Amino acid sequence: MTSVERWLEVHRLSVAGGEPTIARDLARRLSPTWLQRSRFTDVVALACSTLTLGPDAAALHHLGRAQTAIGLHRQSLVSYEQALVLCRSAGDESNEAVILNELGVAHNRLGDSQLALEFLEQALPLARETGNRIGEAAALNNIGSVHKRLGDPRRALGYYEQVVPIVREIGDQGGEAAALNNIGGVYDELGDPRRALGYFEQVVPIVRDSGNRAGEAIALNNIGLVYSALGDQLRALEYCEQALRIQSEVGDRAGEATTLSNIGLAYSDLGDRRRAVGHLARAVSIRQEMGDRIGEAITRFNKAMVHRAAGDLDQAVRELESAVELDRQIDYRDLDAHIAALEHVRQELARARAAS
């Protein structure tokens, strides 16, 4: 029996015997390692078992992180909100900053960027006041991600670049990988794919060394995106399909949706419309399941463009109508562009019907 197996057995007996101190201590030892190694469903089971003994901020935090990783964003909000109440009642400001960070990430993924910033801008000064360098780096990284999603990549870059020296100083490999990924993503968005590739390639050995399978998949997917931008769709598919296999294995539903979209667009560029639509449809289903309205709107827009290229203008209009409705719900920055695209395709459809 390994040490982990012994800990699990002791945890099981502690829960059965109503010993919360022992059970919580063991859960706090196991959950961070399992999260790093993408054992998300195991963390959910362990946290839920621990919580049968009563409320515990650490168990709720770990539960929320695992729920986020497998795409259960609304459930994660409930876990984080309960953890926040416990941290505040205990006067635990360091962990309060951590939970505020998590709430910011969850709201950003659900499309409420302004509420996300409210939580993150509370987290940053609190982390600095308590000397929580990991929390400070996380807040900077997450604020950058909100600004990127709001369409301000250069402002995002300023936050991401503050993260790198902090995480290297404290030896936080996960934080370093996330920051390098994000910096690469900004350079890709700014039209410098080769510079982006340099950052993404730095990430792969870091996440492999730490056993971070979900992080490895993100890096592989990002490398695939760069090759797609450089016009090498076959190489892009090679990297994205590696990423998709890992994401499926670890239960990273958000990552799966992103990678499926990228594979769909690569097939579209290769002229294989059937495979493109199939992958994008799977991505839409996951986004709906997760409640990710921004992701769903973007994916539906991309799916509409594939239908349009294939000459299926009716279906393109339907997808664009859905995308525009989602944009309106969340006040998405691309609303005007999507409305313009919808009107253009409607006109194409009207001309096609008149000609027939």
Handedness of CA 160, 163, 168, 174 (dihedral sign): negative
Interatomic CA distance for residues 317 and 345, integer angstroms: 6
Nearest CA to 219 out of 231, 230, 232, 207 is that of 207
Interatomic CA distance for residues 13 and 58, integer angstroms: 20
| List of residues 6+ apart from 145 with CB closer than 8 A | 105, 108, 156, 182
Residue that is written with structure tokens 């992103």 in the block: 258
241 touches 31 (CB < 8 A): no
Handedness of CA 137, 143, 146, 147 (dihedral sign): negative
Residue that is written with structure tokens 């509370």 in the block: 122
The token pair that represents 151 in the structure block: 């369409």
Rounded to 5°, the CA angle 335-337-342 comes to 90
Give me the pLDDT at residue 251, please. Answer: 84
Q: Give the residue ranges of the chain where pLDDT is below 50.
A: none
Interatomic CA distance for residues 198 and 181, integer angstroms: 10
Amino acid identity for residue 31 in this structure:
S
Residues in the chain: 356
Distance from chain centroid for Cα 163: 18
pTM: 0.67
Give me the pLDDT at residue 144, please. Answer: 96
Residue that is written with structure tokens 């490398």 in the block: 223
Distance from chain centroid for Cα 11: 31
Give me the pLDDT at residue 37, please. Answer: 73
Amino acid identity for residue 231 in this structure:
G
143 touches 117 (CB < 8 A): yes
Give me the pLDDT at residue 56, please. Answer: 97
Amino acid identity for residue 44 in this structure:
V
Give me the pLDDT at residue 142, please. Answer: 94
Buried b (16+ CB within 10 A) or exposed e, 201-211: ebbbebbeebe
Interatomic CA distance for residues 201 and 195, integer angstroms: 10
Q: Helices marked H in 171-311 — which ranges?
A: 173-189, 193-210, 213-229, 233-250, 253-269, 273-290, 293-309
Nearest CA to 43 out of 57, 59, 56 is that of 59
| List of residues 6+ apart from 67 with CB closer than 8 A | 44, 73, 75, 76, 79
What is the Cβ-side half-sphere exposure of residue 295, based on CA atoms within 13 angstroms? 27
Cα R_g (the chain), whole angstroms: 22
Interatomic CA distance for residues 141 and 321, integer angstroms: 34
Q: Helices marked H in 70-152 — which ranges?
A: 73-90, 93-109, 113-129, 133-149
Interatomic CA distance for residues 191 and 329, integer angstroms: 30
Interatomic CA distance for residues 132 and 97, integer angstroms: 8
Amino acid identity for residue 136 in this structure:
E
Give me the pLDDT at residue 317, please. Answer: 95
For the chain, which domains are there?
1-90 (1.25.40.10), 92-171 (1.25.40.10), 292-356 (1.20.58)
